[in-house]
Amino acid sequence: MSRKGNCWDNSVAESFFGGLKTERVFFTNYKSRNEARKDIVDYIEMFYNNKRRHSYFGYVSPGEFEEMRLLEKAA
């Protein structure tokens, strides 16, 4: 990664983490680190649609793709 504002910056990651902070983290008072971790994981799983098919994966969902890869490694 390069400096902020450079054409090589990671705008997708910056956008995701900006949304995470403004939608969840800034308005929530977590009682423990475990509670924060659970809430952030829930947000990520909601944001990242694991069931949507991707052309990059041969029109299977990311979850199915991971399962296929694990089965290939086991064989």
pLDDT digits (tens, 9 = 90+) for 30-69: 999 999 999 988 888 877 677 778 788 888 888 888 899 9
Give the pLDDT band of residue 7 (cuts 50, 70, 90): low
Taking only the tens place, the pLDDT of each residue in 21-36 is 888 888 889 999 999 9
- Of all residues in the chain, the percent with pLDDT exceeding 90 is 20
Q: Mention every residue, 6+ apart, whose C-beta is less than 8 A from residue 68.
A: 60
Query: What is the token pair recorded at 40?
Result: 């952030």
| Element housing 34 (H / E) | helix 33-47
Query: What is the token pair recorded at 53?
Result: 């098919």
pLDDT of residue 36: 93
